[in-house]
Amino acid sequence: MKEKVWSIIDALKKRYPHAPCALHSTKDYELMIAVRLSAQCTDARVNLVTPALFDAYPTLEAMANANIADVEKYIHSCGFYRQKASDIVLACRMLLQQYNGKVPDKMEELLKLPGVGRKTANLLLGDLYGVPGSVVCDTHCIRICGRLGLSKGKEPEKVERQLRKILPPEESSDFCHRIVWFGREVCTARNPKCEHCELSVYCNEWNIK
Interatomic CA distance for residues 123 and 31, integer angstroms: 9
Q: Which of 86, 128, 84, 138 is nearest to 106 (CA)?
A: 128
Q: Which of 182, 167, 109 is nearest to 134 (CA)?
A: 167
Angle (nearest 5°) at CA 106 between 114 and 28: 65
- Residues with active-site annotation: 119, 138
Interatomic CA distance for residues 200 and 179, integer angstroms: 14
Q: Which of 97, 91, 116, 106 is nearest to 39 (CA)?
A: 116
90 HSE (CA, 13 A, CB side): 13
